[in-house]
């Protein structure tokens, strides 16, 4: 038995240093895993400076000096960066490269500093005896449970390249759908912001100037009702803008606070599912995410109960997440998946029928993927329909608001011109 100094990560993501007795480095890694630690570096005592000791500072040698930025300056890792890394690693492993060499190749060409640093730590962990899944689990902010469990299943089945390819496809399709929804919402948000900006400009700059003109020209003659309403609104905006701003901020804060509670999130998610036009899009996108995630996990060999638990944690909609929890409990008791899906009254009949067929034929993962593909197309159509409805509504809204102000400003002028001609 020899002593090995190690640097590891605990389950909370904190670095732990220490010493362990083992037959070799691989045995040391196994002992650390049994303690719930993920090895980053394992070195034999006296072989190049123990991990428990302080690492001597590197001498600065001009261009050879290594400059390492702290983690907070390295930026965050976007989902797109993780997808690119997954696709590259899958391609290299499929080409026959060993995992360690493939990781080093991807690390050298990675431009994102945070991901590059994580890849270096993961490579050291794998070299120290950890599995690839354990190395990934030490970076929960970059690789979620879905990712880690699929890799674990790939390692157990010896099909790492296939699993990574499926992961990359899953991430690409999820990003595609999210991008379409985001792009569909960009147009109305931009138009609304412009409308608010134009309205504020008219009420704080244009209307007050006309008010001064009308006060001189109209004299004791009263203003038309619509003009007086617009002038009063302009005065309120100018003198009480902080009240309006406070109300808006207060409403946003209240919604955020209520939405942070479990009951509040459940209420808001249920409301989202029943809003005209938007509700249909919410349901379809959530069902697509549920079926694609579950199908991907089961297709990779993850047990159904574990897969349902992971899916429940990855869903944003609390109503559907609770329904998945109900399905998990029923399947745990020995039931098939289709009956509890139907009992939740959340999933559309088509989903339940296709899941039932998938269970009867033994091809549930493939059937879940087909459901996801179908609902992805429905989301595309729903986004297009939503955009076609929102555009004319926004145009009408702008026309009514700006038109009302213009009419209100011109009515006194018409009255004055009528009085002069008379």
272 lies in a domain? yes
**3-state secondary structure labels for all residues of the chain:** CEEEEEEEECCCCCEEEEEEEECCHHHHHHHHHHCCCEEEEEEECCCCCCCCCCCCCCCCCHHHCCCCCCHHHCCCCCHHHHHHHHHHHHHHHHCCCCHHHHHHHHHHHCCCHHHHHHHHHHHHHHHCCCCHHHHHHCCCCCCCHHHHHHHHHHHHHCCHHHHHHHHHHHHHHHHHHHHHHHHHHHHHHHHHHHHHHHHHHHHHHHHHHHHHHHHHHHCCCCCCHHHHHHHHHHHHHHHCHHHHHHHHHHHHHHHHHHHHCHHHHHHHHHHHHHCCCHHHHHHHHHHHHHHHHHHHHHHCCCCHHHHHHHHHHHCCCHHHHHHHHHHHHHHHCCCCCHHHHHHCCCCCHHHHHHHHHHHHHCCHHHHHHHHHHHHHHHHHHHHHHHHHHHHHHHHHHHHHHHHHHHHHHHHHHHHHHHHHHC
139 lies in a domain? no
Whether the Cβ atoms of residue 149 and residue 297 lie closer than 8 Å to each other: yes
Buried b (16+ CB within 10 A) or exposed e, 394-415: beeebeeeeeebeebbebbeeb
Instruction: State phi, psi for 392 to the nearest 5 degrees.
Output: -65, -35
163 lies in a domain? no
Q: Provide the CA 342 distance to its chain's centre, in angstroms.
A: 28
The answer to whether the pTM exceeds 0.75 is no
Q: Give 10-residue mean pLDDT values along the chain (422 residues).
A: 76 72 76 72 62 39 42 65 88 85 88 88 84 87 84 78 83 80 78 84 85 71 80 86 90 89 87 82 85 85 85 85 90 89 89 91 89 86 78 84 84 72 58
179 lies in a domain? yes
Which structural domain, as residue segments, surrounds residue 371? 174-422
Question: Long-range contacts of range 351-358, CB-CB < 8 Å, 24 or more positions apart?
Answer: 351/287, 351/291
Q: What pLDDT is attached to residue 246?
A: 92
CATH of the domain at 311: 1.20.81.30
Q: How many domains does the chain have?
A: 1
372 lies in a domain? yes
Q: What pLDDT is attached to residue 354?
A: 92
CB atoms within 10 A of CB 373: 15
135 lies in a domain? no
Tokens 């617009």 identify what position? Answer: 230
Query: Could you give the CA distance from residue 48 to residue 50 in angstroms, rounded to a whole number?
Result: 7
79 lies in a domain? no
The dihedral region occupied by 76, where left means phi > 0, alpha psi between -120 and 50, and beta the remainder, is beta
366 lies in a domain? yes
Query: Could you give the CA distance from residue 211 to residue 204 in angstroms, rounded to a whole number?
Result: 11
């Amino acid at each position: 038995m020899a002593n090995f100094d190690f640097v590891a990560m605990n389950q909370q993501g904190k670095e732990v240093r220490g010493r362990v007795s083992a037959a070799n480095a691989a045995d040391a890694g196994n002992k650390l895993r049994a303690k719930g630690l993920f090895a980053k570096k394992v070195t034999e005592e006296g072989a190049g400076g123990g991990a428990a000791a302080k690492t001597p500072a590197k001498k600065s040698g001009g261009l050879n000096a290594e400059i390492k930025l702290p983690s907070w300056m390295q930026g965050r890792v976007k989902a797109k960066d993780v997808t690119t890394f997954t696709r590259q690693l899958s391609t290299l492993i499929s080409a026959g490269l060993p995992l360690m060499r493939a990781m080093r190749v991807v690390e050298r060409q990675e431009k994102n500093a945070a991901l590059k640093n994580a890849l270096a730590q993961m490579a050291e962990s794998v070299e120290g005896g950890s599995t690839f899944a354990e190395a990934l689990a030490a970076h929960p902010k970059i690789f979620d449970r879905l990712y880690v469990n699929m890799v674990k299943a790939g390692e157990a089945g010896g099909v790492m390249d296939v699993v990574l390819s499926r992961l990359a496809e899953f991430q690409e399709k999820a990003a595609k759908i999210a991008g379409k929804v985001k792009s569909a919402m960009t147009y109305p948000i931009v138009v609304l912001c412009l409308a608010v900006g134009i309205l504020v400009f008219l009420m704080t700059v244009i209307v007050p100037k006309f008010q001064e003109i009308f006060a001189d020209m109209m004299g004791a003659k009263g203003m038309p009702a619509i003009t007086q309403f617009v002038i009063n609104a302009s005065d309120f905006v100018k003198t009480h803008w902080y009240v309006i701003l406070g109300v808006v901020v207060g409403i946003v804060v209240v919604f955020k606070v209520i939405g942070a509670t479990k009951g509040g999130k459940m209420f808001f998610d249920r409301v989202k599912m029943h809003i005209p036009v938007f509700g249909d899009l919410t349901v379809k996108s959530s069902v697509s995410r549920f079926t694609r995630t579950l199908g991907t996990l089961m297709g990779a060999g993850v047990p159904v109960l574990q897969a349902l638990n992971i899916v429940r944690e990855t869903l944003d909609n609390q109503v559907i997440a609770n329904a998945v929890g109900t399905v998990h409990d029923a399947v745990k008791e020995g039931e098939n998946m289709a009956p509890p899906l139907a009992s939740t009254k959340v999933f559309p009949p088509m989903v339940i029928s296709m899941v039932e067929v998938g269970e009867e034929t033994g091809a549930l993962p493939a059937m879940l993927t087909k459901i996801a593909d179908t609902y992805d197309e429905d989301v595309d159509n729903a986004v297009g329909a939503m955009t076609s409805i929102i555009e004319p509504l926004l145009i009408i809204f702008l026309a009514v608001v700006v038109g009302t102000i213009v009419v209100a400003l011109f009515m006194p002028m018409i009255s004055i011109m009528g009085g002069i001609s008379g």
